[in-house]
Chain A
Amino acid sequence: MSSESSKKRKPKVIRSDGAPAEGKRNRSDTEQEGKYYSEEAEVDRRDPGRDYELYKYTCQELQRLMAEIQDLKSRGGKDAAVEIEDRRIQSCVHFMILKKLNRLAHIRLKKGRDQTHEAKQKVDAYHLQLQNLLYEVMHLQKEITKCLEFKSKHEEIDLVSLEEFYKEAPPDISKAEVTMGDPHQQTLARLDWELEQRKRLAEKYRECLSNKEKILKEIEVKKEYLSSLQPRLNSIMQASLPVQEYLFMPFDQAHKQYETARHLPPPLYVLFVQTTAYGQACAHMKSSQPPRQDKTLSVAIEGSVDEAKALFKPPEDSQDDESDSDAEEEQTTKRRRPTLGVQLDDKRKEMLKRHPLSVMLDLKCKDDSVLHLTFYYLMNLNIMTVKAKVTTATELITPISAGDLLSPDSVLSCLYPGDHGKKTPNPANQYQFDKVGILTLRDYVLDLGHPYLWVQKLGGLHFPKEQPQHTVIADHSLSASHMETTMKLLKTRVQSRLALHKQFASLEHGIVPVTSDCQYLFPAKVVSRLVKWVSIAHEDYTELHFTKDIVEAGLAGDTNLYYMALVERGTESDACSSPSSGKGCHSQDVKYRTLLPLCSPCTHLGGIESCDSSQLSWHLIGQGFLLEPPRCCLWCCHPAPALAAKLQAAVVLNPGYSSIPPVFQLCLNWKGEKTNNNDDNIRAMESEVNVCYKELCGPRPSHQLLTNQLQRLCVLLDVYLETESHDDSVEGPKEFPQEKMCLRLFRGPSRMKPFKYNHPQGFFSHR
C-alpha cells in the first residue's frame, strides 16, 4: 500500500519517471479519499520497504541537488539563478517527501506499539488462565489422594477369620458366590455377620444380668434366715453352759480364750498357740487320767481386751510418726530446757509400754508346786519379757540363806548358759534407748520382767546379732522348736530350786541331808559337821582371800549365788566325836534331828537341851555376838576347845545348778590357816568336790549334788584331820585319832592323803 502511495506521489515528484496509467489511477484514489484524508489508512497501504527506498533516493536526490546548487553558485552564471530556482523547487518537493515519510514512520511506530501492547495483554490473559488450571489440577490431585487414604472404621473391628466366616455365617449373609471374588462385598458381608453376632451376645448379657439379680435376691433371703438363727443358737449355748460345767468340758471357756487371743500381739499369740498346743500334747500323752483335769501346763490370757482393741485401731504407722517427731523434738528440746526431764520421762514410759494383754502360763511340777510365768510384750521395743513366781503346795519355811533362790528376779536367770535376762535381746533397741536416754534395760527389768532370750524364742522372735534391723516376724516354727526343751528346763529349774530350798532349810540347822540312795557315797560315821550355812554377797565373796583363783578364772560372775559354809570338827573332847557317850548324833536319817550334846567340860547344857556348843557360838557369831574370851558355851567359862578345826568353804552356786556344779573354795583354820596356796591336800580336797563332782550327783536329776558335796567335804575334813602326821615332840594323845580305815597315809610327791572312799569295803584309798 505504502509503495502505491509512494508511487502516486512519485509522479508528482519525478515527472520523468513513470507509467502514466499508474499515476492516473493513483490520482483517482486520492481523489476518492480526499474527502476524508486519513494518513493512518495510507500507512496501511504503503510498503515500509519501499518507503525506505524512497527515503534513500530522496536523500540522494537532495544531496545531488544541493551539490548542483553549490556547483552552480560557485560558478555563478546568469542562468544559474534559474537553474538554482528550479533546483530549489525540486529540493522542496523532496523535503515534502521526507516530511511525509517522517510522519508515516511516526504513525507506523505508534501502530506497532499498539499492536505489541495488544499482543502482550493477550499473552498475559492466557498465562493467568494457565495458572488457574494448574492450581485446579493440583487441588484435584490432593482430593484424590485424600480419598485414597481414607480409613474406614470397620478396619478396627476384630473380625472372625475368613474360613470361620464362611463356615459359620448363614448363606444369606455370606453370599459366597458374590463375595468370593469381590473383597469389598466380602468385607461388607463379614461386617454384617459381626453385627449379627454382637447383637446375639448383647442379648445373652442381658439374660445373665437378670439371672444374677435373681441369685442375689435368693442370697439375701438366706442371709436373713441365718441371722435369725444366731440368737436362737446363742440361747441354746447359754442353756448348755451348766451341762458343760457339770461334765467338765469347758469348751466355751476355751473358745472365749481363743476369741481373746485374736487381740494378742503376734509374739504373744505365737506363744499362746504353741504353749496351748504343747500343753494339750502333754495332756494327751498321759491319757490314763481324765484330760484337762490333770494339766501340767495351763495357759490363760490376762488383761483388758478393750484396751487391746483400742490399740489396734490406729494403724501401725502412728508409732513411726512418733519416733520421727521424737527426733524433731530432740532438736528443739535444747530451747525448751526446763521441761526436758518431764518430756524424757514420758517418752521413756511410752517406749517401755507393755501391751495390755499378757499370757499367763502355769507350769505344774510333780510335787504340786507351780511356776507362774507371765509373759508381756513391749510394743515399742518389740521384745517380750517374763515375770516368774513360784508357789508350792505346802507352805515353805523360808531359810534365811534361801532368800534369792525363789525370788522372781533370779529364779530363771541363766536358764540357758549366759542368758541373764538383763540386756535387751533386740539390737535395734539400743538406738531407741539412746534417743530417750535409757542407759540399759537393766534398771527397768524389775518392773517390766526379764527379756530372756528363750522368751523371745518361745514368742518366735529371732534377733540376728549382726544387723540391727527390724527383720523380726513372729515365727511359729522357731517357737515350736524351743518349746519342749524350754519347758523341761523350766521344770528342772523349779524343781532344783525347790530342792535347794528344802535343803537349805536343813543346812541352816547344821544338818546335811543325805538321802538313802546316796548313802553309799559316804562312810557310816562322819564326825565333822556343818555348823553354818549363810548366803553372802558377791562382793564379799570376791574379797575373801582364798577365792582369788575362782575370781581370776572368771567363774564368779554376779549372776551366781554365793554361800559360805563352815564345817567344823572339835577335838577328842567334843561330845559328838565319842559315840560311846550316847549323846552323840550321827544318825544319818534325813529328818531333822535335835542335837542334844553335852558341853563336856561342864554339864550346863545337859538339862537345857538346846544345842551344840560350837553351833551355838556360831549362831551367835552369825548374829553379831562373839564369845569373848572364847568359851565352850554361853553358859560356862571353860575355854573353848582351841584346836577345833574349822573349814570354811566359799560356795559359788551357778544359776544353772544342778547341770553346772557348785564350786567350792576352802580355807582350813587349824594350826594356822591352810588354803590351796600353802597346802597341797586342801587343794586336793577342793579338786575332790569340784572336779570329781560327777560321782556325787546321785540319782538323776541330781538335785542332791550340793548336799552330797557338803557331806563329802565333812568326810574329807575327817580324813584330813585323822591322817595328819602326829608331831612326836608334842605330848599327849593325837587330837584326832584315826578312825578311818586307810591303806596308806600318803602317796606321791605331793603327799596326798587317801581321800577316795571305796563303798562296800569302807576303806579310804588314793585317787
Chain B
Amino acid sequence: MEVFQALQRLHMIIFSQNVSPCGKFLAAGNNYGQIAIFSLSAALSSEAKEESKKPMVTFQAHDGPVYSMVSTDRHLLSAGDGEVKAWLWAEILKKGCKELWRRQPPYRTSLEVPEINALLLVPKENSLILAGGDCQLHTMDLETGTFTRALWGHTDYIHCLALRERSPEVLSGGEDGAVRLWDLRTAKEVQTIEVYKHEECSRPHNGRWIGCLATDSDWMVCGGGPALTLWHLRSSTPTTIFPMRAPQKHVTFYQDLILSAGQGRCVNQWQLSGELKAQVPGSSPGLLSLSLNQQPAAPECKVLTAAGNSCRVDVFTNLGYRAFSLSF
C-alpha cells in the first residue's frame, strides 16, 4: 500500500504547530488527526542527518484534523474535532502515549459536532479559551477542568483568537467578518469591528471572513477575506492596509515587523508602514501557521517554522531564507 501512503502524504495538511516549553521539540498536527513530534535541537545540530528531520514520534491524537495546539508548562493541549485533549510533554516521546485528559465544551448539540479552531491560554486566570464551530468562546478553568463561561455574539464560526497582554481582554475573529473584543472580567463584548464594511480593506470576491488576528498593545492586525490591515483599537480605524492579494491565514508581530502567511509559498515580512520588507519562499504551496520559537530555555533553537498544505514544516533559522524542512 505504498501508493496509498504516498497519496496520504501528498494530500496532507498541517494545521497547527507548537513548540514545547523546553524549546527543543516541535509538535505538528495534520488533517488526519496525527500529531508528530520533531526534535528541533537534533535537526538544527551540526551533525543532523536526514532521519533527524523525520518525526521522533507520530501518534493518532484525534479522529478529525488537529486544528489548534497550545502548550502550558507541562502539557500540550490539542483540539480539532470538538474535543480538547491534554498530553504530558514529559511522556509524549514514549511509545503508546495516552492523553492525560479530554474535555468537550457544552455544545448546544446539532447534527455535527462543531470543531475547535482556536485555543488561547490566559495565564493570569490559568484558563483556556476555546473557540470554533459553535460561534462561542468557551472558557475552561485549567485547575478544575470545568467550563466556566461562554461568550456569544459571533454569527458564524470563529477562526482565531488573540489575547491583549495588559488588560484582560480577548480578541476573536470569525467567518462573519467581525473582530470582537471581549472583556474577561465582565464577560461582555466591548467592541466590534466589522472589517468588511470598511471600503479600504474589503474584498467581496474573497468573502468577509477573518482568518487571522494578532495584537500588540493598542494595535491589532487582522486578515482573511478582507485585506491584511493594521488597526488602531482605541479609535477602531484601519491605519495601514498591506498590499497582499492572497488571503492571509496567519499573522504575528515580531519585533518591529509583522509576519504573515497564507495562500502562496511565501512568508511575508511587513514594515508597520505597509511596505513589504521581504518575501521568503517556503516549500508548501500554501501556509496555514507560523510558529516563532522564542523559548528562553533553548536559545540555539530560536527559529521560525511554517507549515501548511504539505507534509513539510519549513524551518527558517533566520528570517532571510528557508534552511530545511521537517517532514511527516
* B window 238-287: CB within 8 A of A: 246, 249, 263-264, 285-286
Bound: A549/B10 CA distance, A: 7
Interface residues in A710-767 by Cβ distance below 8 A to B read: 725, 727-729, 743-744, 746-751, 763, 765-767
Separation of A478 and B10 alpha carbons in the complex (Å): 38
Q: Which of A661, A678, A687, A749 is in CB contact (< 8 Å) with B11? A: A687
Q: Are B115 and A747 in contact (CB under 8 A)?
A: yes
Is A550 an interface residue, CB under 8 A from the partner?
A: yes
Minimum CB–CB distance for B322 against chain A, Å: 17
Do B157 and A727 have beta carbons less than 8 Å apart? Answer: no
Report Cα–Cα, A678/B287, bound state, in Å: 11
Q: Is the CB of A725 within 8 A of B112?
A: no
A661 to B249, CA, bound (A): 33
CA–CA, A746 to B158, complex, Å? 11
CB distance from B6 to the nearest CB of A (A): 5
A766 to B157, CA, bound (A): 14
Encode B96-109 as 1/0 by CB contact (under 8 A) with A. 00000000000000
Task: From B39-47, B51-59, B121-129, B204-212, give the one contacting chain A.
Answer: B204-212
Interface string of A672-696 (1 = CB under 8 A from B): 0000111010010011001100000
Contact with A along B193-208 (1 / 0, CB 8 A): 0000000000011010
A727 touches B205 (CB 8 A): yes
- Does the CB pair B10–A654 fall under 8 Å? no
Q: In the complex the two chains form, what is the Cα distance from A691 to B311 in whole Å? A: 14
Q: How many residues of B contact A (CB 8 A)?
A: 36
Q: How far is the CA of A746 from the CA of B246 in the complex (A)?
A: 18
Asked if B3 and A555 make an inter-chain contact with CB atoms under 8 angstroms apart, the answer reads: yes
B3 touches A654 (CB 8 A): yes
The answer to whether the Cβ of B110 comes within 8 Å of any Cβ in the partner chain is yes
Closest chain-B Cβ to A657's Cβ sits at a distance in Å of 11
**B328: A residues at CB distance < 8 A:** none
Contacts A550-B10, A683-B13, A749-B15 given; indicate if A743 touches B204 (C-beta within 8 A). Answer: no
Closest beta carbon of chain B to A134's beta carbon, Å: 105
B133 close to A (CB within 8 Å): yes
**Chain B residue with Cβ nearest A552:** B10
Is A744 within 8 A of B211, CB to CB? no
Does A663 sit at the interface, judged by CB under 8 A?
Answer: yes
Most buried by B among A725, A743, A765: A725
Q: Is B293 in the interface zone, CB < 8 Å from A?
A: no
Residue of A nearest to B80 (CB): A748
Instruction: Tell me if A749 and B204 are in contact (CB < 8 A).
Output: no
Contacts of A749 in B (CB 8 A): 15, 67, 117, 159, 211, 249, 288
Q: Is A680 within 8 A of B309, CB to CB?
A: yes
Residue pair A750, B285 in contact (C-beta under 8 Å): no
On chain A, the residues within 8 Å of B8 by CB distance are 691
B314 interface residue per 8 A CB criterion:
no
Per a CB cutoff under 8 Å, which of B64, B112, B205 touches A743?
Answer: B112
A748, B67: Cβ atoms under 8 Å? yes
Chain B residues within 8 Å of A341, by CB: none
On whether A765 and B111 interact (CB within 8 A), knowing A549-B10, A747-B133, the answer reads yes
State the Cβ distance, A721 to closest chain B Cβ, in Å: 15
User: Is A680 a contact partner of B286 (Cβ separation < 8 A)?
Assistant: yes
A660 touching B157 by the CB < 8 A rule? no
State whether A691 and B6 are in contact (beta carbons under 8 Å apart), knowing that A728-B204, A748-B15 are contacts in the complex: no
Known: A677-B286, A727-B204, A748-B15. A743 touches B6 (CB 8 A): no
B67 A765 Cβ-Cβ under 8 A: no
Contact A748 B65 (CB under 8 A): yes
Q: Cβ of B175 < 8 Å from any Cβ of A?
A: yes
Q: How far is the CA of A727 from the CA of B225 in the complex (A)?
A: 12
Bound form: Cα–Cα A441–B204 in Å: 62
**B7 interfacial by beta-carbon distance below 8 Å:** yes
User: By the criterion CB–CB under 8 Å, are A683 and B111 in contact?
Assistant: no
Q: Tell me the bound Cα distance from A749 to B211 in angstroms.
A: 7
* B9 is an interface residue with CB less than 8 A from chain A: yes
**B residues less than 8 Å from A550 (CB atoms):** 10
Q: Is the CB of B111 within 8 A of A743?
A: yes
Q: Are B11 and A686 in contact (CB under 8 A)?
A: yes
State whether the Cβ of A624 lies closer than 8 Å to any Cβ in chain B.
no
Q: In whole angstroms, how far apart are the Cα atoms of A661 and B3 in the complex?
A: 8
Assess A766 versus B159: contact at CB under 8 Å? Given A550-B10, A725-B207, A749-B67. no
Residues of B within 8 A of A676 (CB): 285, 309
Chain B CB within 8 A of A553 CB: yes
Beta-carbon contact of B157 and A746 below 8 Å: yes
In angstroms, Cα B285 to Cα A678, docked, is 7
Give the complex CA separation of A554 and B263 in angstroms.
Answer: 25
Min CB distance, A645 to chain B, in Å? 16
Which chain A residue shows the least CB distance to B265?
A677
Q: How far is the CB of B15 from chain A (nearest CB, A)?
A: 6
A118 vs B207: C-alpha distance in the bound complex, in angstroms?
A: 169
The answer to whether A746 touches B15 (Cβ under 8 A) is no
A182 to chain B, nearest CB (A): 99
Say which residue of B7, B117, B285 sits within 8 Å of A748 (CB atoms): B117
B110, closest chain A residue (CB):
A743
Q: 23 A-B residue contacts at CB 8 Å?
A: A553-B10, A555-B3, A555-B6, A660-B3, A661-B4, A678-B286, A680-B13, A683-B13, A690-B7, A690-B10, A691-B4, A691-B8, A729-B204, A743-B110, A743-B112, A747-B115, A747-B133, A748-B15, A748-B115, A748-B117, A749-B117, A750-B15, A766-B115
The 5 closest A-B pairs by CB, nearest first: A687-B11, A677-B285, A729-B204, A725-B207, A690-B7
